[in-house]
Amino acid sequence: MRCGDFKEDYIKDEEIFQSYFVKFWLTLFFIFLIIFPFIANHYMLYVANMIGFAIIGAIGLNLLTGFTGQISLGHAAFIGVGAYTSAIMITRLGFSFWLSLPFAGLVAALAGMIIGIPSLRVKGLYLCIATLAAQFIFEFIFVHWESMTKGITGIHIPPPRVGSLEFTTEKEFYWITLFFVVLGVGYARNLVRSKMGRAFVAIRDRDLAAEIIGINLFRY
């Protein structure tokens, strides 16, 4: 806790941003993100979008490794599962980009459960090896199942649409990326303040002690 920072009621203790300093700089940063696409060139927008994609992927990894203490080296594999699921649903099943997103998340979560449940009995270095093995398995599938994934060439999908509006340029993709980054960061920030988030931290600090006080390790 910062020096001189006292909470007088529970509502203040539960605030996401607990100081005017943080609120001020966060507001300035958000204003900059809004202005950025109007002053940046094509390459800068491309880099910003790549950073946004990395942030979206890192949010889940931060929850798993940073807050739960479970080291994973196969996180990219599950991102790939979601990406290929969305692409296949769009190109082969005729789903829209937006409708394919929740299904992509569900399939990626299912793949994570398939790998995660057998890995519950291992931790530390052994968990790293198990997740690394999953990474190589999925990567092999992505590259060699050419009839489904198109191999190393990948799958070309049509640009996302909202009514008659098509998102075809880096500037237009920037707004989509920014939306999902803000959504993901906000969700993660609230999650770590919840009962589930506190359970994650307890498991990270000492899994045996967490189980003794009633936290279901299998569930979390």
Question: Could you read off the pLDDT of 2-23 as tens digits, one per residue?
Answer: 565 666 665 666 666 667 777 7
Give the residue extent of every domain in the chain.
73-157, 169-220
Structure confidence by residue, pLDDT tens digits, 167-197 = 788 888 899 899 999 998 888 888 887 788 7
pLDDT of residue 12: 63
Q: What is the C-alpha to C-alpha distance for residues 27 and 126, in angstroms, rounded to an integer?
A: 43
Phi, psi (deg, nearest 5) at residue 165: -90, 125
91 pLDDT higher than 80? yes
Structure confidence by residue, pLDDT tens digits, 60-74 = 888 888 887 778 888
Helix ranges (H only) for the chain are 10-13, 20-39, 42-61, 75-92, 97-116, 125-144, 146-149, 170-192, 195-205, 207-212
Q: Angle CA(152)–CA(111)–CA(104) in degrees, nearest 5?
A: 70
pTM: 0.78
Structure confidence by residue, pLDDT tens digits, 118-127 = 776 777 778 8
pLDDT of residue 16: 67
Q: What is the C-alpha to C-alpha distance for residues 109 and 91, in angstroms, rounded to an integer?
A: 21
pLDDT band for position 43 (cuts 50, 70, 90): very high
Residue the block writes with tokens 């940063």: 29
